[in-house]
Structure 1
Amino acid sequence: MAPPDVVRLAAPALQALARDIFVAVGVGADDAALWAETLVWANLRGVDSHGVLRIPRYLELIAQGGIHPRPAMRLLKAAGAIALLDADRAPGPVAMARAMEEAIAAARRVHVGWCVARDITHAGAVGHFALRAAAAGMAGLVMTASIPLMAWPGSRRAVVSTNPIAIAIPAGRHPPLLLDMATAKVALGKIMSARQTGAPIPPDWGIDAEGAPTTDATAVATLLPMAGPKGAGLSLMIECLASLAAGNPVIAPALAGAPGTAKGGTAMNGVAIALDLAAFGDPAGFVQSVDALAEAVAAQPKAAGTDALLLPGERGDAELARRRRSGIPLPAGVWKQLTAAATRLGVSLPAPLEG
């Protein structure tokens, strides 16, 4: 019998597997749990490009020294609303969770908190950290900056990065509004996912080494920006706010040919911002207004063939509910890699769901 194309796991089982794999390579138990939670949260919401398929690469980076499994993070500066965190190449979710903690703490003191985190690693789905602010009744904004991965309009090679931005707004009856997007047409993880499955990609996702559009994910050398100059310009501004503010520029040194971070890592930085909405007035009135806004948009006439007008985050919320019920589907190739890693590290494998 041929092996299945998809293996389905219950979310708690997949999260425990990811946590145990990270612990087995030296990550502290609490950090491993947070890292695993972030990855599986992405899988639950259907953002598989930022989920557990990344684990094999993370393990390589830990082995090479590109990710520090037990980082010595230090708060370099805390003054009024701002904080500067040296993440010491911590797992990205660990660094950005700490950055948002600092931002929320500052916002509780002075109504806004802005934490720049330098020397982080890949943070995954950054909406996860923006939602931490929403859970505290605040607006949250998260951005990260990394090496050139995306073309500048008119360029033939990578000039800026796919720098993501996420904004979370608390609501009342309605779940928090969550915008979570890359500045590229698609995130690099979607190209990685297509490479895993062998699926063709749209021709406006990326260009090959000669600068020509391609539908072959394996041929993509450079991603294309969302909305052309708008996505490229937004990415450049995130580099200013995250990297230049951190005193750790990424793009200019890379374009000048400076060597990358030693031992297999790449230079990355992040920003976490929390805004205390109660400072402007009644917080109950604010969330009621968010609910009213969401309901007003959803109630507008739909175009032919449209089932519903979805607000930011609703598609992911619906997928999360489905996958909590029926399990998380993993391509056979991803499951094979996780199985190999777990076996090598002596980690027990959970039983896939039937059907």
Structure 2
Amino acid sequence: MSARIEAGALRDFAAAILQAAGTGEADARAWAETLVWANLRGVDSHGVLRIPRYLELIGTGAINPKPRMAMRMQAGAIGLLDADQAPGPVAMNRAMDEAIAIARRLHLGWVVARDITHAGAVGHFALRAAEQGMAGLVMTASGPLMAWPGSAGAVVSTNPLAIAIPAGTRPPLLLDMSTAAVALGKIMAAKDAGTPIPEGWGVDAAGQPTQDPAKVATLLPMAGPKGAGLSLMIECLASLAAGNPLISLALRGAGAKEGPRMNGLAIALDIAAFGEPGAFTAEVDALASAVAAVPASGATPVLLPGDRGGAVMARRLREGITLPDGTWKRLSASAAGLGVALPGLLSS
């Protein structure tokens, strides 16, 4: 049995669980906002199904529910944020806000965030810049989860990349992608739903292709060497620049191959510096209209980056968010263990 719940109620419920686990009220609400935003856009792999795992990581001390984040360095447009193992969304909100503040003065803000934890759907933070009329770029880096072409096991990570471009009369363009063939959370979601995964998403412990999400040991890169190479470059820009390498230490056996230790990068670009106010966003609208007007090859219309997620969000805001039985059971158990009341569900 699945559970269907109104977005605001799910956000309050998620925040209550995270706060009961020791997160400060404002941070718990910001964390929950990012998770439910992912659910609303149909990216359930990065939504509230992650909460039970986050609670485990808070319990072990791997996630710091009350971090003391601080900007450790700023040189011109570049800054370094020490996130103190903060919840990922809390850290990346701060990193992007710092980047936007720098860009307001210098037209570009480039902030590396050291020692964050899992940030979820990174498009949420890129949109933070687009909502201020700036282009936003976000990347995060973690330890080995994904194969390198020709490797027998995990070498690089599924490091995501998001770019948000402000528009005029239409919503911002939003590219939000993993460097893997699929994000790990989608395999988690398939496991919760009890459904097989497509071939090409991952391999088992013996390095053989599998469609059983429970047997996936290593993810496969998007477009082979292209996805693997892009992941490696993100490790350079986010981790090496932060003085906090992840991949090299793990491959040498000096660090855990998996875990919450991560780094991030938030970039804000003041588009208005290039010309007349409104000229750029008008051209974005024109570009989007031209692409959308191209004849479709089938029944599905031509979509721009972010359009699918926006349509799903509009529907789920009206109809509620449906959580698979496995996700709802684990959330309910987490809530019970922390003394958090269950929210009301929408009728079927």
TM-score category of the 2 structures, normalised to the smaller one:
over 0.9
Contact 2:4 2:345 in 1 (8 A): yes
Match of 1:309 in 2: 302
Match of 1:274 in 2: 268
Match of 1:20 in 2: 16
Q: Deviations over 1:7-33 (max 9, x none)?
A: 100000000000000110110010000
Contact 2:143 2:259 in 1 (8 A): no
Q: Tell me, in whole angstroms, the C-alpha distance in 1 between the residues paired with 2:192 and 2:253.
A: 30
C-alpha displacement at 1:306, in angstroms? 3.0
Match of 1:39 in 2: 35
2:334 to 337, 341, 355: 341
- Displacement over 4 Å in runs of 4+: none
For structure 1, which runs of at least 5 residues remain unmatched after alignment? none
Contact 2:140 2:264 in 1 (8 A): yes
Letter in 1 for 2:238: A
Secondary structure of residue in 1 paired with 2:86: coil
Letter in 2 for 1:317: G
2:311 to 318, 335, 343: 318
Q: Tell me, in whole angstroms, the C-alpha distance in 2 between the residues paired with 1:239 and 1:53.
A: 26
Secondary structure of residue in 1 paired with 2:155: strand
Give percent identity, aligned residues only. Answer: 69
1:84 to 80, 89, 93: 80
Q: Tell me, in whole angstroms, the C-alpha distance in 2 between the residues paired with 1:259 and 1:293.
A: 46
RMSD: 1.0
Q: Deviations over 1:59-87 (max 9, x none)?
A: 00000000000001111001210110010
Give the total of aligned pairs: 348
Q: Tell me, in whole angstroms, the C-alpha distance in 2 between the residues paired with 1:281 and 1:37.
A: 34
Task: Answer yes or no: is 1:330 the counterpart of 2:326.
Answer: no
Secondary structure of residue in 2 paired with 1:119: strand
Q: Deviations over 1:222-277 (max 9, x none)?
A: 0000000000000000000000000000000000011339xx94321000000000
Q: Tell me, in whole angstroms, the C-alpha distance in 2 between the residues paired with 1:282 and 1:327.
A: 41
Q: Tell me, in whole angstroms, the C-alpha distance in 2 between the residues paired with 1:188 and 1:281.
A: 41
Within a 5 Å distance, the mapping from 1:125-204 to structure 2 comes to 125-204=121-200
Letter in 1 for 2:90: V
Task: Answer yes or no: is 1:223 the counterpart of 2:219.
Answer: yes
Q: Tell me, in whole angstroms, the C-alpha distance in 1 between the residues paired with 2:91 and 2:34.
A: 12
Q: Tell me, in whole angstroms, the C-alpha distance in 2 between the residues paired with 1:180 and 1:199.
A: 24
Match of 1:244 in 2: 240
Q: Tell me, in whole angstroms, the C-alpha distance in 2 between the residues paired with 1:56 and 1:243.
A: 27
C-alpha displacement at 1:213, in angstroms? 0.8
Letter in 2 for 1:276: D
Task: Answer yes or no: is 1:116 the counterpart of 2:112.
Answer: yes
Q: Tell me, in whole angstroms, the C-alpha distance in 1 between the residues paired with 2:240 and 2:146.
A: 19
Secondary structure of residue in 2 paired with 1:77: strand
Q: Tell me, in whole angstroms, the C-alpha distance in 2 between the residues paired with 1:44 and 1:266.
A: 24
Secondary structure of residue in 2 paired with 1:185: coil
Contact 2:246 2:255 in 1 (8 A): no
C-alpha displacement at 1:212, in angstroms? 1.1
C-alpha displacement at 1:202, in angstroms? 1.1
Secondary structure of residue in 1 paired with 2:104: helix
Letter in 2 for 1:336: K
Secondary structure of residue in 2 paired with 1:89: strand
Contact 1:61 1:265 in 2 (8 A): no
Which piece of structure 1 moves more, 232-241 or 339-348? 339-348
Task: Answer yes or no: is 1:298 the counterpart of 2:292.
Answer: yes
Q: Tell me, in whole angstroms, the C-alpha distance in 2 between the residues paired with 1:106 and 1:274.
A: 8
